[in-house]
A and B are shown apart, each in its own frame.
Chain A
Amino acid sequence: MATYLEFIQQNEERDGVRFSWNVWPSSRLEATRMVVPLACLLTPLKERPDLPPVQYEPVLCSRPTCKAVLNPLCQVDYRAKLWACNFCFQRNQFPPAYAGISEVNQPAELMPQFSTIEYMIQRGAQSPLIFLYVVDTCLEEDDLQALKESLQMSLSLLPPDALVGLITFGRMVQVHELSCEGISKSYVFRGTKDLTAKQIQDMLGLTKPAMPMQQARPPQPQENPFVSSRFLQPIHKIDMNLTDLLGELQRDPWPVTQGKRPLRSTGVALSIAVGLLEGTFPNTGARIMLFTGGPPTQGPGMVVGDELKIPIRSWHDIEKDNARFMKKATKHYEMLANRTATNGHCIDIYACALDQTGLLEMKCCANLTGGHMVMGDSFNTSLFKQTFQRIFSKDFNGDFRMAFGATLEVKTSRELKIAGAIGPCVSLNVKGPCVSENELGVSGTSQWKICGLDSTSTLGIYFEVVNQHNAPIPQGGRGAIQFVTQYQHSSTQRRIRVTTIARNWADAQSQLRHIEAAFDQEAAAVLMARLGVFRAESEEGPDVLRWLDRQLIRLCQKFGQYDKEDPTSFRLSDSFSLYPQFMFHLRRSPFLQVFNNSPDESSYYRHHFARQDLTQSLIMIQPILYSYSFQGPPEPVLLDSSSILADRILLMDTFFQIVIYLGETIAQWRKAGYQDMPEYKNFKHLLQAPLDDAQEILQARFPMPRYINTEHGGSQARFLLSKVNPSQTHNNLYAWGQETGAPILTDDVSLQVFMDHLKKLAVSNAC
């Protein structure tokens, strides 16, 4: 039998699922004692080049409360053409199309290797994708120019039948009509007045009475009933028009006096965008793409006033309850986000400015709708340009890597219940027998809506074992979970992906070792981290840290091997050994620490943490550090100050940043120009190696990380120094006394100290 590691990997590749526990404790009581909840990371649309979708519809269990999809775990009576649902045990007749099945002639969904299968639904009208650009015009001239170019470029990347719309805003909000000849026409809205969806639709003439007017225009080719909105037009029709329109976009003409911020009506602009789509294309795939170069300064959703002398809120202000606009603004954007989610649209935020732009307030727009959030310094940077371009990248099939309007439904066998989910989703509030009262994350439902997702979007889904201790599960019993994801593929087809998994039950008292061995510490770390970050959004930072610490200690108590009150005897098995270290770095990460981060940055980091898959999440928690030297090929090294050596080049990937750091000696050599001398060609190669590797990462990552090339003593070296474990600090430098690394000027505890404390606490009875 393969190792658990292989098993886990195999499962992840096939199903896109990683469980914290791969053998499940069979009773509720035991499960709670496991500390780390039974949970999984699910990547619903994990790219599966080897999995062509089947061209028919799934067979559903006929019990109305169940409706589970036929899957390999079902018992099939080939002769009677019956199948038993493995969730509710309902016996179902196969549909007529399945008349020919037999043991040797099985449909794909019954084959074990198709535990994940994708169905393509043919019925139903296909609606085109919609891209609605919402563009801030209060930008500096070159920023605006760069943005315009990016937008024009993007037109060529869009699917030709996609509908596009354009809203620009500054002091006013303009909704551009794209189909007019002879005169360019736009609807203008005051940037200070919040409008209801109804009002917006009335004002844009999208409500019924306006329809006859539309139809009165005879030459309108009615090839598609959806093309009724003047504001959203197929790209192939108005390509030129829109390109010109974008080209002519001017900076907001209203004067901005000295000492003022430009008046920016982001809140209303978004509101109108949402209202526009809501009225015209509910429940179709649509992206609202907000490009903003500064904080909203007026109207609903304003984050800061226009007086430059009053700076935008900081964490300090927020803690002191000094952020006057925050609550109101947040409420505004939350309301918008919820409406958008209800309509199945998603909102992307591209915020490029040196100062904060109000991401803290606006984050929910992206978080709840599965939109992207990109933060940069300027639209005129490759970070933005490349990231934006990457949104329209295509997969191996030539399809866009984006899906819309997904509904994720989770079904569990009766020993399990669903506690909640954390990720870019909103609850659909579908109560059912398998919904737990215990709440973790977005809870109280068995279905979630994910309005925008791609092949890496990952949700953490938390379960609760509800089997009572006194009702043991028979040996060899397996629990099953089915994930049904219905979504609109970028080709506008509706598709359903079904993943059904099963794991063994084990009695935690007698088979704890099994369970322990099947612990997936990486998944567990990410799942716990998600819980922690989720809590951090609503609780004080220190509380969250305490909670994490307590969980860690309890876990160590439960699974560590030690003699009471003897820290030195403490040991953890291999399957747990890395977990404390993850927790150590997590505690230091920007997801939980707000020190040195603006509220916007924290929101940005947390946003990405809550949607990336396991590998990326782990990088975020514990950045990867590679060391390059003449001694051999590049090697991963400890994320520790002791790894910072003079004759090494370091490459650190924190997900958000790629840092290349030249050790002191290397930096001197480079300064001396050795790399240009033919006899030191190998030095040149050494310098080049991390650059190449960095490029590779940069190419693949979304959003594109900040690329930092620095050296010993460089100001940018702080990015590295703040991440590494401060094993050597100014406090203990002399104690170590060797030239084996770089001391970090910090009072933070080092991993060593952290572990020492952990051991001490774990073995004590105090907790």
Chain B
Amino acid sequence: MSQQGYVATPPYSQSQPGIGLSPPHYGHYGDPSHALSPPGVMKSAGPLGAAAPGAMLPPGPPPSGPHQFGQNGAHASGHPPQRFPGPAPVTSSYAPYPPSAPPSYPGPASASPTSRLGSQLGALQISGYGSSQPGTAPPGQGPPGPPLPSTFQSPPRPAQPSALQPGPQLLPPPPTTLNGPGAPALPPAYRQDGLLGPASTQFQPPPPPGQGPGAGYPPQQAGSGPQMAGPQLSYPGGFPGGPAQMAGPPPPQKKLDPDSIPSPIQVIESDRATRGGQVYTTNTRGQVPPLVTTDCMIQDQGNASPRYIRCTTYCFPCTADMAKQSQIPLAAVIKPFATIPSDETPLFLVNHGENGPVRCNRCKAYMCPFMQFIDGGRRFQCGFCSCVSDVPPFYFQHLDHIGRRLDHYEKPELSLGSYEYVATLDYCRKNKPPNPPAFIFMIDVSYSNVKNGLVKLICEELKTVLEKLPKEEQEETSAVRVGFITYNKVLHFFNVKSNLAQPQMMVVTDVGEVFVPLLDGFLVSYQESQSVIHNLLDQIPEMFADSNENETVFAPVIQAGMEALKAADCPGKLFIFHSSLPTAEAPGKLKNRDDKKLVNTDKEKMLFQPQTHVYDALAKDCVAHGCSVTLFLFPSQHADVASLGLVPLLTGGTLYKYSNFQMHLDSQQFLNDLRNDIEKKIGFDAIMRVRTSTGFRATDFFGGIVMNNTTDVEMAAVDCDKAVTVEFKHDDKLSEDSGALIQCAVLYTTLGGQRRLRIHNLGLSCSSQLGDLYKSCETDALVNFFAKSAFKAVLHQPLKVIREILVSQTAHMLACYRKNCASPSAASQLILPDSMKVLPVYMNCLLKNCVLLSRPETPTDERAFQRQLVLTMGVADSQLFFYPQLLPIHTLDVKSSAPPAAVRCSESRLSEEGIFLLADGLSMFLWLGVSSPPELIQGIFNVPSLAHVNTDTTLLPELGSPHSRRLRRAMSAVQHRSPYAMKLTIVKQREPPEAGFRQLLVEDKGPQGGASYVDFLCCVHKEICQLLN
């Protein structure tokens, strides 16, 4: 729903009211209704249910129980305790439960009891955390009254865990625990609010009642189940032990302990622990895949691998109303060309020769496992539109006893989720087989680029990198042809035909209306023209050595490349190496408009919009001709990324930005990017179509795409790192039986010039239970979706509105859960569904991203850059980007090969004796604490002490020491997660460059603004409470 809001303003403005759940109505549902509804839905509940709500609600125990557990229970927050001294008891305490739990959990998560437990604990904590952690202890013991901020400051870390631990022990009445803590929690929650400051005032009215409610609640719960009340009450009582462990229970209670709030690290680690290294088979509809951070092997058994498609939820609500009520966006993040690890099976290629792919007659869906063969195999019924089509004679096959074709396992399109078809001429432009693509290298040879040696660097590198042009597996040499253009305010084309003794340069000065001055000899095979090309690359730096042309053009450069591809009648990719704002008189000329005054005004969106329409039109033109643009930008000052980056964005290219490029610092990063980008697997001139089964449809698309109608997603090129996020909306009711099916077909041209169709199929389940929906959500995909829709909305809406919508939608999603799925608890209690446990922290990271954070200190270019970057990110990239990875290097076990366990991105996790590696996919920091152990420093830098460490480098010395080797291995592992080469910055604690590092400590209050995780959580909680009221 929110997405709609982004698209069309009106809803936005109304969003808050609109979104608000109708409290009264839901209120009625209260616990009982809840309890009642679940029963039907949830079958799994069994033991858990019993354990949790079941206890409370005798009648419908199973259903509701699982719910809460699934959601709440899953909850990660349970972990923190484990980590702390307390873990042992916890597990032990849980031990009894597991047995009952496993059966109850149908989902993968159920695998290990511990995890479950952990999750349960988490849930508990979460619920509590709003209140529980602090609440648990405090409420019971401490006076709910007004805890002082100061008191909070004293870190009561130990206390909470312990407090939690008690929770588990109490678990027997898990539900109760939830509620229980809730009740006591209330006060803390209020306190938090109070802490928050302004908000507190509003809140305060509740606090007093807080106790009241607390009191009041218990009755409710009691009402629902007297037993529960008991447990709740008992909680505090039971807890005491815990608190005791925690040490100073009372004082700590007040402070919301960061350790007790859901930790992304813990969630990641637990998923990794339960599912990592295993085989995940995609045979079941609607199953939630492992997290993106979890390494496992994926086996395609009828649904596309999560590497290709990830959904925000794997269980769609049956009705639009439900969707609206929950406010959970229904979306899929599709990365059609995702890289598949070498140990997984590559896509099969289906070739039906001239017959072409078999398709449904009506909706034109491609043959896939969702097609049902009937009538003895003579006809098939489309899983998407239910239309019955004849099986073409060449494709006929008999059916077996269960109605499956005998060749079911021989044909990839019948048994696999992803495969490729060879396309026939009907699928080609002008019904002509396409030509192999071409790469055109376009180098800005203006004064600054020549001066700082960049031109020379590029030319040198091209000589080697051209040897590695991408090719199709079976080919010996690359079919990709190459061409060269240099430019400043005029363009120079080069004729590098193989039979020439020396290259010929053709200058095109008519930048107003660029054209291609030559046909033959511009695009050549590198192998054939190698000597001429080398000759040229040797000459280019000298040729312009004396040039002092400062002005450049940009749009004409792209235009030229596109025209060249057009003339050669092939798709292709432009590699543009550009450095400055194009101020020369030409189309696409830009003014320096970096107007910081717009920040924090309604006009701020203009900073993200291109200056002229030229680039938009140009991008569309490029896409129409299969011309993708990748831009390497080396700005030394404002270069208007919002304008320059538009074409790369819309044409499926990549924008690499190296601000203030310095040869000795940045060349490595640039060269790595260049190599990667050239070698990338990529498809050209692509059209993507997402088909869905009846009842819902794809309504909105985000990514590096152009759409000329509502269904065809056109991409000049799509490479292995580009993802398209697709939002779905209900047309009608979905049925639980048939589920929700998605087929994504991408028609594209391969590197060898073959036209192909890549098909990904994914079946999702449907449910009329909100609980199912919440259970199947995936936070990483949700964040990806929210980020893209918000960043898209940035162009049209004031940032303030967008931020508010994000917060309120978060609150709504959680409130809806609380209202409909969670077992009853104190209104003031924060209850998070397990699957969304870390949503608040991620959401806060998103809100703190410089794009959404209106700070004049951030260069406009950087904001525009990050905005465009995120728009094409896949789930894994966005996860890392929004929640950077912080690795304690000093704890590296020199002997083990396992990567160090990440820690949460907060300053409080740093230590003066530590060395930390921090990476967000774009940049990498090596942070050296002031008291870093000298032996470590010696091992890594080969210098005696911290003071000797030279921070003016981006490379670590390649030492043979175990520390160095391990660190570098860890770095390369991190690097491996990102499509962008990360530049390493070495920062010493308490030195000015530390600011950049601190900015990535996303759980803390941002140095340039942005709430800390804790504060944000309180804020969300407050919103939820408001909604519930």
Contacts and interface: CB of A to CB of B under 8 A. Distances in A.
A535 interface: no
Interface stretch (A212-220, A378-386, A460-468): A212-220
Contacts of B507: 185-188
A137 to B, nearest CB: 13
A24 to B, nearest CB: 58
Contacts of B547: 213
Contacts of B510: 189-190, 193, 195, 203
Given A186-B507, A202-B509, A203-B509, A253 B546 contact: no
Contacts of A182: 502, 539
Contact of B513 (A172, A184, A190, A212): A190
Interface in B535-568: 536, 539, 543, 546-549
B959 interface: no
Contacts, number: 63
Contacts of A186: 504-507
Interface stretch (B515-523, B612-620, B768-776, B855-863): B515-523
A187 B506 CA distance: 5
A161 B517 CA distance: 32
Given A183-B505, A202-B509, A213-B549, A253 B520 contact: yes
A426 B493 CA distance: 41
A213 B546 contact: yes
B466 interface: no
Contacts of B509: 187, 189, 202-205
Given A189-B510, A203-B510, A213-B546, A254 B519 contact: yes
A174 B546 contact: no
Nearest to B517: A188
Nearest to B504: A184
Interface residues of A, number: 24
Contacts of A255: 519
A204 B549 CA distance: 14
Interface of B: 490, 493, 502-510, 513, 515, 517-520, 536, 539, 543, 546-549
Interface in A185-231: 185-190, 193, 195, 202-205, 212-213, 216-217
Interface in A246-266: 253-255
Nearest to A218: B546
A188 B546 contact: no
B539 A183 contact: yes
Contacts of B490: 203, 205
Contacts of A254: 519
A213 B489 CA distance: 14
Given A190-B510, A193-B513, A183 B504 contact: yes
Q: Is the interface of A mostly helix, strand, loop or mixed?
A: mixed
A216 B502 contact: no
Given A183-B543, A216-B546, A174 B506 contact: yes
A202 B584 CA distance: 12
Contacts of A190: 510, 513, 515
Contacts of B504: 183-186
24 contacts: A174-B517, A182-B539, A183-B503, A183-B505, A183-B543, A185-B507, A186-B506, A186-B507, A187-B508, A187-B509, A188-B507, A188-B508, A188-B517, A189-B509, A190-B513, A195-B510, A203-B509, A204-B509, A205-B490, A205-B509, A213-B547, A213-B549, A254-B519, A255-B519
Most buried by A among B507, B513, B515, B518: B507
A254 B548 CA distance: 34
A172 B509 CA distance: 13
Contacts of A203: 490, 509-510
Contacts of B493: 188
Top 10 closest pairs, chain A to chain B, by CB: A203-B509, A188-B517, A187-B507, A185-B505, A188-B506, A190-B515, A184-B504, A253-B520, A216-B546, A188-B508
Given A182-B539, A183-B503, 18 more contacts: A172-B517, A174-B517, A183-B504, A183-B505, A183-B543, A185-B504, A185-B505, A185-B506, A186-B505, A186-B506, A187-B508, A188-B493, A188-B506, A188-B517, A188-B518, A189-B508, A213-B547, A217-B546
B126 to A, nearest CB: 67
B978 to A, nearest CB: 40
B502 A184 contact: yes
A612 to B, nearest CB: 41
Interface in A264-278: none
Contacts of A185: 504-507
A425 B505 CA distance: 40
Contacts of A205: 490, 509
Nearest to A255: B519
A767 to B, nearest CB: 61
Nearest to B567: A254
Contacts of B519: 253-255
A174 to B, nearest CB: 7
A389 B702 CA distance: 69
A253 B515 CA distance: 15
A182 B490 CA distance: 20
B429 to A, nearest CB: 19
Contacts of B506: 174, 185-188
Contacts of B539: 182-183
A23 B304 CA distance: 109
Nearest to A217: B546
A187 B503 CA distance: 15
A470 B539 CA distance: 84
Contacts of B505: 183-186
A182 B518 CA distance: 19
A621 B490 CA distance: 54
Interface string A371-407: 0000000000000000000000000000000000000
Nearest to B549: A213
A212 B550 CA distance: 13
Contacts of A212: 548
Nearest to A189: B510
B636 to A, nearest CB: 21
A183 B494 CA distance: 10
A191 to B, nearest CB: 9
B625 to A, nearest CB: 19
Contacts of A184: 502, 504-505
Nearest to B495: A184
A255 B515 CA distance: 16
B830 to A, nearest CB: 66
Contacts of A216: 546, 548
Nearest to B521: A253
Nearest to A185: B505
Most buried by B among A174, A190, A213: A190
Nearest to B503: A183
Contact of B518 (A193, A202, A253): A253
Interface string A90-113: 000000000000000000000000
Most buried by A among B509, B513, B536: B509
A203 B519 CA distance: 22
A213 B488 CA distance: 14
A462 B513 CA distance: 49
A410 B547 CA distance: 52
B542 to A, nearest CB: 8
Nearest to A202: B509
A190 B508 CA distance: 9
A204 B509 CA distance: 7
Contacts of A213: 546-549
Contacts of B502: 182-184
Contacts of A187: 506-509
A174 B520 CA distance: 15
Contacts of B546: 213, 216-217
Interface string A150-176: 000000000000000000000010100
A199 B414 CA distance: 63
Contacts of B548: 212-213, 216
Nearest to A209: B549
A629 to B, nearest CB: 62
A185 B508 CA distance: 11
